[in-house]
Amino acid sequence: MTLHHADNDAERPSDEVDRLVAAWRQERPDLDVEPLQVLSRVSRLARHLDRARRAAFAEHHLENWEFDVLTALRRAGEPYELSPGALLRATLVTSGTMTNRIDRLTAAGLVRRRPDPEDRRGVLVSLTDAGRARVDNAFADLLRRERDLLAGLGKHEQQALSGLLRTLLVPFDATDTGAH
């Protein structure tokens, strides 16, 4: 997998990370600052992505957590419903937090609760038509903004970058069991 263009790095425009790395190399020549080349750029890109996400959600009157719960239900497929326990696993929050979130989304008319026909003590949470419309529109807007963030890369470069990032993330995903 390669992300290099036909031109070499010397011909590429420099960015803030290049300046940061150069300064550290001058000040601390005893340290290998090479990780900054990748991880500072990932960090900076994450900030731009966070801004794009917040803007997309705000435009559709959603908070990040609302989008997370609504998309978990939407991804479940027809009839777009899950148990609160399945929502907990999909969003990695505590049961008390999920109860509060379901209450707030129910009050907003974006989800509804109904008794679970398979478990008399359980409930199922499902998207309302308004919830489905809101999450579908917000998701389409988010994807447009994400495409804009990636506009400087061609399709093959995006695929290569995706593969490289996957390689870095798989070990973390395998051990990430904490709630946030």
User: What pLDDT is stored for residue 67 in this prediction?
Assistant: 96
26-55 pLDDT, tens digit per residue, is: 999 999 999 999 999 999 999 999 999 999
116 - beta bridge partners? 119
Which percentage of the chain shows pLDDT scores above 70? 92
How does residue 176 score in pLDDT terms, banded at 50, 70 and 90?
low
Give the phi and the psi of residue 120 in degrees, each rounded to 5: -60, -25
* Nearest-angstrom CA–CA distance, 142 and 152: 17
Question: What letters, b where the CB count within 10 A reaches 16 and e where it falls short, cover 119-133?
Answer: eeeeebbbbbeebbe
45-104 pLDDT, tens digit per residue, is: 999 999 999 999 999 999 999 999 999 999 999 999 999 999 998 888 888 999 999 999
Domain positions in the chain are 36-147
CATH topology of domain 36-147: Arc Repressor Mutant, subunit A (1.10.10)
What is the DSSP secondary structure assignment for residue 10, as one 8-state letter? G
| Cis status, amide bond into 29, omega within 30 of 0 | no
CA angle (67 as vertex; 62, 70 as ends), nearest 5:
120
H-type alpha helices, 28-109:
35-59, 64-75, 84-91, 95-107
Neighbour tally for 97: CB within 10 Å: 15
Nearest to 61 by CA among 12, 134, 136: 134
How does residue 6 score in pLDDT terms, banded at 50, 70 and 90?
very low
pTM value is 0.80
